[in-house]
Amino acid sequence: MKIKIYETLKSIFRQNRNVVEDNNIDYRSAKMILKNDKDAKLIDVRSPQEYKEGHLPSSINLPLYKIEEQSKELLPDLNSAIIVYCQSGSRSNKAIELLKEQGYKKLYNIEGGLDNI
């Protein structure tokens, strides 16, 4: 009986868990995706000022507050791998949610952002 309840609860949590957690990768994995997938994009969702102060090579600055209006223009392929990052991982988690709502399929978040690199 206890095992059945545990399995049921586990299934419910798995279905309702924040999907963003499944998208977290480390910086090393992000570099591998970018190396092996020529169409993959690296997106910095920090402000333009933060981006100017320093960013990862080959990244595109698409601030979180502009994602809904500019993503289709800068990221036309819904099936390309998109790796997002920010300073700590918070804004990039939100960016993943917004991009997912717009139909993007292969989304990855550099867990912990630049603070974790």
Q: What is the pLDDT of residues 67-76, one digit of tens each?
A: 999 999 999 9
| Strand intervals (E) in the chain | 24-25, 41-44, 59-61, 82-85, 107-110
Longest dimension (CA), the chain: 58
Distance CA 76, CA 69 (A): 12
Distance CA 5, CA 48 (A): 50
Position 5 confidence tier, pLDDT thresholds 50, 70, 90: low
Q: CB under 8 Å to 113, separation ≥6 — which residues?
A: 85, 86, 87, 88, 89, 90, 92
How much is the average pLDDT of 31-36? 97
Which pLDDT score is estimated for 110? 98
Distance CA 62, CA 44 (A): 6
Residue bearing tokens 């139909």: 103
pTM: 0.81
Question: Taking 90 as the threshold, does the pLDDT of residue 22 lie above it?
Answer: no
Position 17 confidence tier, pLDDT thresholds 50, 70, 90: very low
Catalytic residues: 86
Which pLDDT score is estimated for 3? 58
Indicate the CATH number for domain 19-116: 3.40.250.10
Question: Taking 90 as the threshold, does the pLDDT of residue 26 lie above it?
Answer: yes
The domain segmentation of the chain, as residue ranges, is 19-116
Residue bearing tokens 């630049």: 114
